Amino acid sequence: MRSHEIDYEIFGEEMQFVEIELDPQEAVVAEAGSFMMMETGIQMETIFGDGSNQDSGVLGKLFSAGKRLLTGESLFMTAYLNQGSGKKKVSFASPYPGRIIPIDLAEKGGKFICQKDAFLCAAKGVTVGVEFSKKLGRGFFGGEGFIMQKLEGDGMAFVHAGGTIVRKELQPGEVLKVDTGCLVGFSQTVDYDIEFVGGIKNSIFGGEGLFYATLRGPGAVYIQSLPFSRLASRVFAAAPQGGGKQKGEGSILGGIGNLLDGDNNF
């Protein structure tokens, strides 16, 4: 195997974290900011890109890191190497409420495609690259689905998604239509495209996006019920504007209650 063979356990419900057990000289790479805790004997090192091509020279390292800029990620990742004499554990936490999905790349034919912000961590040796769309329409209308990440190798990788996660196993020729923001990832055997919702009323008054993703089997598709963009927009809409208090929220008084609480100046 090219990738390090790691053991893991996932803990929690709404806010999960994954605990990875490393044998001596085994390593795991993770996105910056996902680290939670680790045992003594593990060395943390910042690396260019995913660290999968450390022997390819300066240009190879720069190219690996440069690909990450296209997905909006940092040029750097963090590697955690067990330099002790026994097994050591390191843990990585979810960035927001949802689920951590373990992906065995060996079972996926060596490749898995996911949203650009879904990747959490992976065994050292897994390549984190960019999956470019071959159709121009996806670039203009795909939203989160245009520039996606591809995880390649034969080791374990972990992706995170919001809310409840649904795994659909599509049969050959079976088609599933998904909101582009709800699409987490899919097997490389799945054909992916963007389709217009259609209809003036649907476009203007439907309250949904103008486009959705169509996925044609065979292969596995992972779907999330709460994309982070949707969560963030709801939080922003509910937040007080200008730092004001919203004590009357949900009551019949509403804004009148705010006028009576003594915090408003006239």
Q: Which residue has tokens 């690396």?
A: 47
Q: Which range among 1-5, 56-60, 76-80, 215-219 shows the weakest confidence by mean pLDDT?
A: 56-60
Which pLDDT value is given to residue 207? 46
Overall pTM > 0.85: no
| Mean pLDDT across 47-67 | 58
In degrees and rounded to multiples of 5, residue 258 shows phi and psi of -70, -30
- The Cα–Cα gap between 44 and 82 comes to 9
Show Cβ contacts of residue 16 under 8 Å, excluding neighbours closer than 6 positions: 10, 93, 94, 98, 99, 100
Which pLDDT value is given to residue 226? 86
| Mean pLDDT across 114-140 | 76
Which ranges constitute the DSSP H helices of the chain?
Answer: 57-70, 136-141, 200-205, 228-238, 255-260
Domains identified in the chain and CATH numbers: 7-236 (3.60.160.10)
35: buried, middle or exposed (CB in 10 Å: 19+, 13-18, 0-12)? middle
Q: Evaluate the omega torsion of the peptide bond into residue 218 and state whether it is cis, within 30 degrees of 0.
A: yes
| pLDDT, tens digit, 9 for 90 and up, residues 233-259 | 777 777 776 555 554 454 444 554 454
